[in-house]
Amino acid sequence: MNIENIEAFVYVNHYGSFNKAAEVLFLSQPSVTARIQTLERELDCRLFDRLGKQILLTEKGKQFLPYAQQILQTMQKGKLHLQNRGTRRNELRIGSTVSVSNYLIPDLLPRLRQRFPELTFKLTTAPSDDLVHKLLEREIDIAFVRKLAHPSLQSYSFCEDPIRLYVYEGHPFAAAGRVSIHDIRHQTLVFFECGSLDWLRLHRVFENLEHPPNIVFHADNSETAKKLVLQKAGICFLPGLCVKEETSRGALIPIEIEETKGISLQTNLIALTGENEEFIEALLTKESVYSI
């Protein structure tokens, strides 16, 4: 049984699409289809059903999936042993999103340096999808990304970053500390969105308003949005990590809104299955995991 056919099966199931699986595997869509068809002939059963544009596992496909995943994981672990896994490099290559690079890495790297004084560290900053690609191509060793799942990667929850409304010192909301989502409709709003699915919950809250919020400034990075609030240009929903210093000195004030309570950005630590476990374990200790 060809391992590449099993890999195609796992990826098609994960992405729910032959086209997406082909893109990730750097294959053509017909090549992925051919691999699935070959596997189905070998197993003498159909693995997928099509429901319109949706791809669903058959009952036989569901039964085979855990075995297929285990085969891929075992294969990867075998490769590691053949690559003389016991020999440690003298450099740890870390990937991270912009926010993690700006607000977490400066605290994490000195802790890692204390734990692994013989290592040097190389940091790559990029969007989550790019970091996944770099990890699969072994251009980096571990990465901090937005919450995701991938069949070839281990993923660990690392940091929950609450999204709250922040106002500048002296703003009318500052004294109250808590307002209703309807109270913001007459306020000038700075809107920052990082592209994460977590922001969809905030959009849904806005959609339920009778009058849409008065968004005057759109920013594609948190630093710009934060500085606009500090300049009293407006108020903004921001992740707590990027405003920790400003809130500690009272320059920005968090405002509780019941309708947006519980919305947060999750940062995950990812690595290839079975690799760099020593570093992952060090980063996941209580002393290292970041709290907001």
Rounded distance between C-alpha atoms, residue 219 and residue 217, angstroms: 6
Between strands 48-51 and 54-57, the pairing is antiparallel
Q: Residue 6 to residues 31, 65, 68, 235: CA-CA distances in angstroms?
A: 13, 9, 6, 51
Structure tokens at 213: 């919020």
Task: Enter the pTM of the model.
Answer: 0.66
Residue 3: its H or E element = helix 3-15
Residues of the chain with CATH 1.10.10.10: 3-82
Cα-atom radius of gyration of the chain, to the nearest Å? 23
Per-residue pLDDT of the chain (292 residues; tens, 9 = 90+): 788 999 999 999 988 899 988 988 888 999 999 999 999 999 999 999 988 778 899 999 999 999 998 888 788 767 666 654 544 568 999 999 988 998 899 989 998 999 999 999 999 999 888 999 899 888 999 999 987 778 888 899 998 889 999 999 999 999 989 999 889 888 999 988 765 555 677 778 887 778 888 889 988 888 999 999 999 999 999 999 899 999 999 999 999 998 888 888 889 999 998 888 889 999 987 544 555 5
Residues 3-82, CATH architecture: Orthogonal Bundle (1.10)
**Reported CATH class of domain 91-159+266-283:** alpha beta
Residues of the chain with CATH 3.40.190.10: 91-159+266-283, 162-263
Rounded distance between C-alpha atoms, residue 196 and residue 193, angstroms: 8
Residue 216: its H or E element = strand 214-219
**CATH placement of domain 162-263:** 3.40.190.10
